[in-house]
Amino acid sequence: MEAMIERCAGLDVHQETVVACVLFGPLDKKPKTSIETFSTTTTGLLALSDWLATFQVSDVVMESTGVYWKPIWNILEGSFHLVLANARHVKNVPGRKTDVKDAEWLAKLLRCGLIESNFVPPENIRDLRDLTRYRKKLIHHRTSEQNRIHKILQDANIKLTSVLSDIFGVSGRRILEAILNGEKIETDGLRKMVDWRTKASI
């Protein structure tokens, strides 16, 4: 394989550690190798960044398995040209079973330009995606709990849905709170609770 990058590194990422393998040297000769293991704490990742800088590494590759690559990407972004490899494209082959060998294999593929990077959006877009996903999750949880309350009310033969179009509106929450407080709700009291501007009749 023809080498294309003089100084590059492959990272084998795990939850608590990351094994880094640096390949450096002239493109027409066999590269020299340096391997170190770092913790995935912020201090450890900063040490990794400094270590890579001492070798004047220009390109760094890691696999996109799980979510463990994200904090490493955040630390190294801006200092190196980062490549996020699809795990299926650089999958293990027989005989490569250790973390060191995995890191070295990634570095060799990168040095020869044989890894196509996955698209990683800019940091602000990544943050927006995380917030959007979290918002969707919260909405899903809220809907699940509302459905649970609907079921409990139906099981108890409390037909609020035939009285209110939205039992989680202002009036609906007042009625639910009164039920939780053990209050006996008569028709006159119900009329006072219901917002007649949104519901013309009961």
Cα–Cα distances in angstroms (integers) from residue 123 to residues 43, 59, 130, 131, in the given order: 21, 19, 11, 12
pLDDT at 118: 81
The encoded tokens of residue 54 equal 């001492």
Mean pLDDT of the chain: 84
Nearest to 171 by CA among 133, 134, 136, 198: 198
What is the chain's pLDDT, residue by residue, as a tens digit (202 residues)? 688 999 999 999 999 999 999 999 999 899 999 999 999 999 999 999 999 999 999 999 998 778 899 999 999 999 999 999 987 767 654 445 567 788 999 999 999 988 877 888 888 888 898 899 999 999 999 999 989 988 988 888 887 777 777 888 888 888 888 888 887 766 666 666 664 444 444 4
pLDDT at 32: 94
> Tokens representing 115?
């890894």
Residue 194: per-residue pLDDT: 60
pLDDT at residue 175 in the model? 83
Question: What pLDDT is recorded for position 67?
Answer: 86
